Amino acid sequence: MDFLKLNDMDLEGKRVLVRVDYNVPIKNGMVEDDTRLKATIPTLNFLLEKKCKILLMSHLGRPQKELKKGKTWDEVKKDSTLKPVAEDLSDILGIGVGFVGDCVDIKIPEDKDIVLLENLRLHSEEEKNDDNFAKKLAANADIYVNDAFGASHRSHASVDAITKFIPSCAGFLVEKEIDELSSLLNPEKPFIAIVAGAKADKIGALKVLIDKADKILLAGVLANTFLKAKGVNIGSSRYDEATFDIAKRMIEMGKEKLIFPEDVVVADKFSKDADTKITKVGEIPKDWMVLDIGEETIDIYKRELKDAKTVLWAGPLGVFEMKKFSNGTKKVGEFLASLNAKVIVGGGDSIVAVNSFDLADKMSHVSTGGGASLEFIEKSGKLPALIALEKVFKK
């Protein structure tokens, strides 16, 4: 994939607009996991050494969706502000990071070397990939740097349309992500994928992984969907109805490769105070729900993984945020850390999981992109934002 990189640009003393992915969990006004912030530090330090004025822009959450649900503008803005992120980044860098309450038609404070602009998605034009909005963003700076791999699978104005209006390149994080994830396009065998978690957007990647992987270990809502498609009783467990028919077809495609839980931890309610028990899959009580994999399944998954040379881990195997349902994610994660294999962890909730169990530095690579890392595999690297950078390079 050909695109301009930081070292290709004349950056000295320039005003640089850096698209980052600071879509991080915030609770009570505090950033709960700053992995994505720390991942951008190499790019930021490089630009500081070049005496650049750095303007950071990011999205956070889905404010337009919240507005449609009936929340007021003031409520949405309060819940969607990036201001806590600026404060956390100041602590990480050891210098004051400024904050501006919008991202277009703004006055940039001159007394700060780094300034974070307000949430891009507070403007509906961002998700519409609107040219006029992109032009306004571009007007803030001399050079644009995409260091937001986690947003690169979206055709949004700040990662796609903007490249039409300003000299553009990739940051160090995007470079690193492409280098690491490219190894999954032609992986060393045996290649085992663990695909789990709650989101249904993994189905597209699964179609590709059925061809590439030797085995695919399923868990979470995704496993529930497939089990229900097989006609297995899953009690009141959550599953994705929209992908039910696709799951049925994929079971036929990958009969020998798809590995399902044999036993599960079930609960009578979605709560840390729930009553729990371990049951065989197919024997789940009517009003109980699956919230983790059981010990027998953990042992099966370890046996499948022990000889792997390449592993992709995308999604926690249970509701790891609650201690009662963290065992599967923790034990499989610790086993992965012990392997003599290249282990790549997909982003999103997987980042939080590996950090929760102090496993991040034991993995080969922890991607900052959740959906983006899977779509990178699904689309052989051809993500909208990366295609936009390629177009700039070929001009």
CA Rg, the chain, in Å? Answer: 22
- Which of 61, 348, 369, 370 is labelled catalytic? 348
* C-beta of residue 106 within 8 angstroms of C-beta of residue 123: no
Q: Is the dihedral of CA 100, 104, 110, 112 positive or negative?
A: positive
Question: Catalytic residue at 315?
Answer: no
φ, ψ of residue 54 to 5 degrees: the values are -105, 125
Question: Catalytic residue at 199?
Answer: yes
Pairing of strands 215-218, 258-259: parallel
- The stretches of the chain forming alpha helices (DSSP H) are 35-39, 41-49, 63-68, 73-80, 83-93, 124-127, 131-138, 172-182, 203-212, 220-229, 244-253, 295-305, 327-338, 349-356, 371-378, 384-394
- Which of 19, 36, 215, 331 is labelled catalytic? 36
Question: Catalytic residue at 36?
Answer: yes
Burial class (CB in 10 A: 0-12, 13-18, 19+), 39: buried
Quote the DSSP letter at residue 231: T
| Bridge partners (DSSP) listed for residue 290 | 266
Tell me how far apart the alpha carbons of residues 134 and 168 are, in angstroms, rounded to a whole number: 13
- Which of 199, 212, 215, 342 is labelled catalytic? 199
- Which of 61, 98, 346, 371 is labelled catalytic? 371
Question: Catalytic residue at 15?
Answer: no
* C-beta of residue 374 within 8 angstroms of C-beta of residue 201: yes
The pair of structure tokens assigned to 179 is 């280098």
Tell me how far apart the alpha carbons of residues 344 and 333 are, in angstroms, rounded to a whole number: 11
Tell me how far apart the alpha carbons of residues 193 and 200 are, in angstroms, rounded to a whole number: 16
The pair of structure tokens assigned to 217 is 């270990």
| Bridge partners (DSSP) listed for residue 267 | 276, 289
Residue among 91, 72, 99, 82 at smallest CA distance from 25: 82
Q: Which residues contact 338 (CB under 8 A, 6 or more apart)?
A: none
Residue among 60, 33, 16 at smallest CA distance from 150: 60
Helix, strand, or coil (residue 70): coil
Catalytic residue list = 36, 199, 348, 371
